[in-house]
Amino acid sequence: MEAACSGAKPQACPESRHDSSKPYEDIRMHYTIGKELGKGQFCVTYLCTEISTGKQYACKTISKRKLVTKNDKEDMKREIQIMQHLSGQPIIVEFKGAYEDKLSVHLVMELCAGDELFDRIIVNGHYSERAAVSICRAIVNVVHACRFMGVMHRDLKPENFLLSSKAENALLKATDFGLSVFIEETILQGQSWAENVFCHVRIIV
């Protein structure tokens, strides 16, 4: 994971937020939906192909039946805003766009050819100390990049990190910002949150 642990300063990206008063476009105008890649409690992820370029992406589809309350809908909008805001950070899964139809909201993002970090850990069984240090540093780099951009992830766990490829030295990228918040908003609301990172402090140093 050396490529993810360079400690480079996060890139400051321009603000880019969707006007929540305007509806999103229908995804089928731009993409064809393919096979299922995975399923979570609130969403299903599909392989999708951009019609104009033939390039493949991952499409996270959330049923509108899951967006019951006003808070659910606001959380969905915030996730989209945060992914747009973090666009351009190499250690975060790149966001392509948001779309919707009568039944679902669709979030199109970079397709990572590797596994979840959780799956890689299960397959390998154990890591050398050096490899574990690299992974933990990569996770801390994600926390640093998010904080630099004014975002708190709030759901850091191995399942929410994807590997860019099957290679052993693949770049580790953070995904799933469904519980994330803008730090400034939480301060204004008087909220206090702690970021959980699954590693021992001795490994980081």
Active-site residue set: 155
**DSSP three-state, residue 183:** helix
| Close Cβ partners of 166 (under 8 Å, ≥ 6 residues apart) | 113, 114, 115
Q: What residue type is 70 in one-letter code?
A: K
The answer to whether 95 and 87 are in contact (CB under 8 A) is: yes
Rounded Cα–Cα distance for residues 173 and 114 (Å)? 10
Torsion sign across C-alpha atoms 120, 121, 124, 127: positive
Token code pair at residue 185: 């908003």
Token code pair at residue 38: 């995975």
The DSSP symbol for 10 reads P
Rounded Cα–Cα distance for residues 162 and 118 (Å)? 9
The answer to whether 42 and 107 are in contact (CB under 8 A) is: no
